Amino acid sequence: MIPLHLEQIETKMARSQATTSSINLPALAITIYASILLLPFNAHAAATIPENHVALFIFGDSLYDVGMNSHFKHGTLSTYWPYGETFFNKPTGRYCNGRLVPDFVAEFANLPLLPPYLQPGLSNYTNGVNFASAGACVLVDTRPGTINLKMQIDYFEEMVQKLRNQVGDAEANKLLGNAVYLFSIAGNDYVSLFTANLNKPPLSSSYKGQYISMVLGNLTSHITTIYETGGRKFAFQNVGPLGCMPSTKTYYTGNIGNCVKEPQMLAKTHNAKFLGIAQKLQTQLPGFKYSVYDYYSAAANRVVYNTRYGFKESKTACCGSGGYNGAFTCGSPTVKFQVCNDPSDYLWFDAAHPTENANQQYAQLFWDTAAPYTLKNLFNL
């Protein structure tokens, strides 16, 4: 039922007076007024969103997961010490000693730290929310049991409906159109590909090409879904130097040098092809604007030239076990692991994730140097 306005009440009363003199008008007015009081009231129905307000919606994997996975399944390592100790003084579900890139981006944009979508009791989405989840892939069948990108998009569409109920269609459309949609995804698709084929004959170039095309095709489809929902401003962190992660170097026991060649080539090929797709989307979709941050180059440069960027160690992780501390044991309640004294000296906190110090540098680069729009530009559009 829709609440009646005063003018509508007066019109009803006038019509009633004209058609019959047997109705008790004061009683009628009291009855209508009482019925209005009994109508459901939405406390947010009259809410308006400031004209220049820009929300942030985040999608991705463990590089951007701020606790989504810990609400999805219990016992994730990121809920144990020493994760979170540097900034939060406790584990928060982040695979880091402190903040992640999206945390810093929110700070730069004058937004609060955005919670994971599955956080209990969450009901206000006007600043945005984080859907990213550790282990997520673009391809649905790659890692069953994780919140893959399709599930994240499903959660996003569910959130959009809640947002419309919260602020109304007009305000929701305005917010969705002004928002920035931030992505870091697909690395796990390629990690799963090369780890599944470690002791097998080399993959053919044609197979790798088909696999990359499949990842990119699915990713493009999900981007289009958000566009059709009203999204116009997209920011992408490209796939990082997978062959430089401490975990990867433990898989390839004969590895010589800073990074493993095969995973590096998969990431580079994906990134080059994605740039072409983003450019095509901008020409095909009216109003589509995008930013791509070259995380691959930023991280690879810090591996090789670590001291230039203030890191004493860039090959071995701060926390973990085995060669390069590349085993995923950091935080394990059952397996012994090592922890460095000062994570800020390290590029990698654990087997595959940067330290807070590194994340802050990456976020600043994303904000200031991404192209064709910097992330700062997207927020100011």
* Residue numbers annotated as active site: 62, 350, 353
289-293/371-372 β-pairing: antiparallel
Rounded CA separation 155/193 (Å): 26
d(CA 282, CA 277): 9
The closest of 5, 133, 121 to 58, measured between CA atoms, is 133
Strand partners, 292: 236, 371
Strand partners, 339: 319
Task: Note the Cα 113 to chain centre separation in Å.
Answer: 12
The secondary structure of the chain, three-state, reads CCCCCHHHHHHHHHHHHHHCCCCCHHHHHHHHHHHHHHCCCCCCCCCCCCCCCCCEEEEECCCCCCCHHHHHCCCCHHHCCCCCCCCCCCCCCCCCCCCCHHHHHHHHCCCCCCCECCCCCCCCCCCEEECCCCCCCCCCCCCCCCCCHHHHHHHHHHHHHHHHHHHCHHHHHHHHHHCEEEEECCHHHHHHHHHCCCCCCCCCHHHHHHHHHHHHHHHHHHHHHHHHHCCCEEEEECCCCHHHCHHHHHHCCCCCCCCCHHHHHHHHHHHHHHHHHHHHHHHHCCCCEEEEECHHHHHHHHHHCHHHHCCCECCCCCEEECHHHCECCCCCCCCCCEECCCHHHECECCCCCECHHHHHHHHHHHHHHCEECCHHHHHHC
